[in-house]
Amino acid sequence: MSDQPILTQLEVGYRILTLNRPDKLNAFNEAMHEALRTALDDAEADLTCRALMITGAGRAFCAGQDLSDRVHAPGESVKLGEAQEKYYNPLVRRLRALPFPVVAAVNGVAAGAGANIALACDIVVACTSAKFIQSFARIGLVPDTGGSWTLPRLVGDARARGLALLAQDLTAEKAADWGLIWRCVADDALIYEARRICEHFANAPTQGLALIKRALNASSGNTLDQQLDLERELQFAAGLTPDYAEGVRAFMEKRKPKFTGRK
Ligand code: T3D
């Protein structure tokens, strides 16, 4: 297998990005951050790309920050925060803002920032043997990469506190029961299921889906009144897309719509 930290696979209408440092359970170092940024730039510049899948090579999805880059002597202090500013925070903002859906196919353990990168994706599908660990408290850190924002919103305050403070393993099955992720599927069905979802998105009204992302991204910071106004604006924009015209025509003609995803 290639030693590139991010592998890109081009499929019809979507791309698969694989985090590829399997010996380190796909933990992030700077090279992997840079490669992921480039891969996301390329996907966004490709007008035929209408969905993205992110998965991990080997037995893990991602073990978060590569801790071998953080070893320091007792008494020596390290000023953290730079990696959030430079890499993790822009990555979360980027995944949320991409104008097409991002599907995380969680193929094994997702720990620390690795768990929260998965949770920043639009759809999270995990296999039965995968687990999610807010491992930060195990090493004296704080959930980052959006975790302290995402967790209470997805699973409520009590469970968010348990996950963050106890830093215990959460099975994929329980993650799905709790509403942390979309679905848990059998190990051998994971890639099939993630591909099926991406293929669906590759034939979906992409501009409309991008507007749905904008509505949901804004929702938790808005009042109902603000959200109603935003929905009106986004609906106006959706109404101008060729896919909306096609959707209505196809419905009236009792046929399957043929969406182009174009503006
Ligand atoms: O800027 C900043 O630094 C702040 C940023 C913070 C963001 C974060 O993500 S902080 C959290 C960092 N991640 C962790 O604390 C998780 C560390 N890993 C683990 O706790 C465990 O590896 C797992 C629970 C994920 C999996 O356990 P297990 O028993 O299945 O595997 P293992 O034996 O621990 O790991 C296998 C190999 O991967 C091993 O290497 P070896 O011994 O075979 O040479 C292990 O050292 C390596 N590995 C796993 N995680 C990391 C890692 N190497 C470097 N960094 C890692 N995060």
185 lies in the same domain as 81: yes
Do residues 172 and 244 share a domain? no
| 223 in contact with ligand 1, CB cutoff 6 A | no
| Sheet strands side by side (includes 60-62) | 60-62, 109-111, 131-133, 169-171
Asked if residue 137 has its Cβ within 6 Å of ligand 1, the reply is no
Give yes or no: residues 240 and 182 share one domain. Answer: no
DSSP annotation string for 119-159: HHSSEEEEETT-EEE-GGGGGT----TTHHHHHHHHH-HHH
Domain co-membership, 21 together with 43:
yes
Domain final position from 187, 202, 217: 202
Q: Is the CB of 71 under 6 A from ligand 1?
A: no
Strands 109-111 and 60-62: parallel
Task: Record the pTM.
Answer: 0.98
How much distance in Å is there from the Cα of 193 to the middle of ligand 1? 27
Residue 263 domain-assigned? no
Contact 40, 87 (CB under 8 A): no
Residue 82: inside a domain: yes
Q: In DSSP terms, which residues pair with 185 in a beta bridge?
A: 127
- Which atom of ligand 1 has the smallest separation from the CA of 139? 15
Between the CA of 117 and the centroid of ligand 1 the distance, in Å, is 15
pLDDT at 75: 87
Residues 224 and 167 in one domain: no
The answer on 211 and 186 residing in a single domain is no
- Residue 232 has, within 13 A of its CA and on its CB side, a CA count of 5
- Residues of the chain falling short of pLDDT 70: 1
- Looking at residue 150, what is its pLDDT? 98
112 lines ligand 1 (CB under 6 A): yes
The answer as to whether 191 is a domain residue is yes
The atom number, within ligand 1, closest to the CA of 113 reads 9
pLDDT score recorded for residue 183: 98
Instruction: Identify the H or E element spanning 56.
Output: strand 52-56
Same domain flag for 91 and 13:
yes
Residue nearest atom 53 in ligand 1 by C-alpha distance: 24
Site to probe by mutation for ligand 1, drawn from 20, 23, 25, 170 as the one with most ligand atoms within 8 Å of Cβ, is: 25
Cα separation, 212 vs 206, in Å, equals: 10
Tokens read off for 163: 């996950």
Domain shared by 53 and 144, yes or no: yes
Does 26 sit in the ligand 1 pocket, CB within 6 Å? Answer: no
Which residues span the domain enclosing 213? Answer: 206-253
**Same-domain status, 77 and 193:** yes
Rg (alpha carbons) of the chain, rounded to whole number? 19
- Whether 75 and 116 map to the same domain: the answer is yes
Considering Cα of 24, then 30, then 31, then 36, what sign does the dihedral take?
positive
Test site for ligand 1: of 26, 66, 67, 131, most ligand atoms within 8 A of the Cβ: 67
**pLDDT value, residue 182:** 98
SS3 of 186, please? coil
In the numeric block, which tokens belong to residue 3?
């030693």
Determine if ligand 1 sits within 6 Å of the CB of residue 64: yes
User: Domains in the chain: how many in total?
Assistant: 2
